[in-house]
Amino acid sequence: MRLLNVRTRELEEFFEKRIPKYAILSHTWGEDEVTFREFDFVVRPRRTSLKIDGCCAQALKGGFEYVWIDTCCIDKSSSAELSEAVNSMFAWYKRAEICYVYLSDVSSHELDPINEHSDFKKCRWFTRGWTLQELLAPHVPTFYNTSWHPLGFLDKNPKRGLRMRLGYFDLPSYLGRITKIPPEIISGEKNLTTPSIAMRMSWASTRETTRVEDIAYCLLGIFDIAMPMIYGEGRKAFMRL
């Protein structure tokens, strides 16, 4: 697993028993993401972004030395590494201490996600395939607007008991209305294996992915299975799933 050091901005690789505590980013990809190829072991990142800077700043504030960001922590030119990442992603999100959900299309002026004309409930994050597991896997998803102002959080850690904050609103119920996922699944009060296969499939029915195959691959963690990536197989990927 490759992690980004939030102080040095260097990418460091860790194996199972040596993986430190880390924060993780959930977001939707834009047109000008900073990728793995733009990192250099001598000069470190050739450029950065508001997304990466904000994520690192939040991690430092929370006492974390490392973050995982899919845009720059995966070498997508390696098919073996990409396959490992896709099959491990749900587990990586679940293992993270906290998940920063960065909503780039929620205005910096929006501080109340539950108002009638809120950007929050119609943001792109709720329409993408990969973000489905990024809602369900993490123990502590925390939502931010485009200027990294916190909007609310959900703490599903059983050792601490369920905690939430979104004004005075019931966050799992609010997210349930947006996503059509039962609130007790979002809150972690019920196991992800409780709903039927058909119901879990339905959660992704209105979501989209850039690659046709990814609508199947993004569901691997939801069903707790692994399978090899075969980009080019098109809709056959869903039949394999």
pLDDT by residue (tens digit) across 70-114? 999 999 999 999 999 999 999 999 999 999 999 999 988 866 677
Q: What is the mean pLDDT of the chain?
A: 90
CA 35/CA 198 separation, integer angstroms:
35
pLDDT by residue (tens digit) across 27-54? 999 988 999 988 877 666 778 889 999 9
- What is the 8-class DSSP label of residue 193? T
59: pLDDT confidence band, cut at 50, 70 and 90? very high
pTM of the predicted model, to two decimals?
0.92
pLDDT by residue (tens digit) across 163-204? 656 554 678 888 999 999 999 999 999 999 999 999 999 999
How far is residue 17 from each of residues 14, 20, 66, 211, measured CA to CA in Å?
8, 9, 16, 33
Task: Report the share of the chain in percent with pLDDT over 90.
Answer: 74
pLDDT of residue 93: 98
How far is residue 241 from each of residues 80, 124, 208, 216, 221, measured CA to CA in Å?
19, 25, 17, 6, 11
Three-state SS letters, 56-97: HHHHHHCCCCEEECHHHHCCCCCHHHHHHHHHHHHHHHHHCC
In the chain, where are the structural domains located? Answer: 2-191
Structure tokens at 110: 């929006």
Amino acid at position 90, single letter: F
Question: What residues pair up with 140 in beta bridges, in sequence order?
Answer: none
